[in-house]
Amino acid sequence: MSENHPLVKAYNSGKPYVRISYYDYHEWLQCFDANKFSTWETIRFKAMHEKYFWGRFFLGIPLIGASWAAAHVVLGPTMIRRDSGFRENILFATFFYILINHWLDSRAVPCRYIDELLTQQSPNGDYIRNSTRDYMPDLWEDFEKQLLAKGVGVKVKSLNPRYSLGLTEDVNASVKMNGA
C-alpha cells in the first residue's frame, strides 16, 4: 500500500497501543472539527466509533444478568410470597447495573486507532495533537506519558497562545527512550 492509502498504518504506531476510557473518548471527540480531517483520519474515527458503540452495546447485555445475580447475592434467598422479591431485585439490580457500567466505562482500554492518530507525522497529526492539548490538557498529559513510555517523543505547539509553553513538534524524530 502507498503512504496515502486510507488503511495504511501510521509510522510510529505499534504495541502497546495508547489507552483511553469510553468516557474520555466521547469527551475527546468534542474537541475536533471533522471538516479538518483527512480521509485517513476520518476512516480511523469511524472505526473507533464502531468499536466503541458495538463494544458498549454487547457489554451491556451480559451486564444485565450480572447485575441481577449481584442483587440476588446481596438480598439473599427470596422470600416466599406472591412477588418473590421481584421489586427489591429490580431496585438492587438497577443500582448494580449503574455501578458496574460506570466502572467499565471508566476503564482505559488500548486502541490502535487512537495510537495511529496521535503518532502520525506532521503536518497530518498536528491538528489532533494540538486540539487535544489545548482543550483536554489532562487527557493530553495521559496520552503523552503513554507515548513517552512507548518511546515516541511527542511535543506540540499550542493553537491557543494562552496555553502555549513554547514546545516544538518532535514527532518525526521519534525519540527512543532506550538511549538511542
Kindly tell me if the per-residue pLDDT of 5 is higher than 60: no
Query: Which grid cell sits at 14?
Result: 505499534
Between CA 131 and CA 14 the distance in angstroms is: 23
Pairwise pLDDT comparison (128 vs 86), residue with the higher score: 128
Average pLDDT estimate for 38-58: 88
- Looking at residue 123, what is its pLDDT? 76
Tell me what pLDDT residue 94 has.
92
Q: What does the pLDDT average to over 95-106?
A: 91
Q: How many CB atoms lie within 10 A of CB 11?
A: 15
Q: Say whether pLDDT at 24 is over 50.
A: yes
- CB neighbour list of residue 111: distance below 8 Å, 6 or more residues apart: 17, 18, 19, 20, 25, 48, 51
For the chain, give the mean pLDDT: 78
Say what the pLDDT of residue 34 is: 85
Cα–chain center distance at 12: 18
Q: pLDDT at position 166, please?
A: 42
146 pLDDT more than 60: yes
Residue 33 confidence (pLDDT): 87
> Any idea where the domains of the chain sit in the sequence?
19-163
- Contact (CB, 8 A) for 126 and 167: no
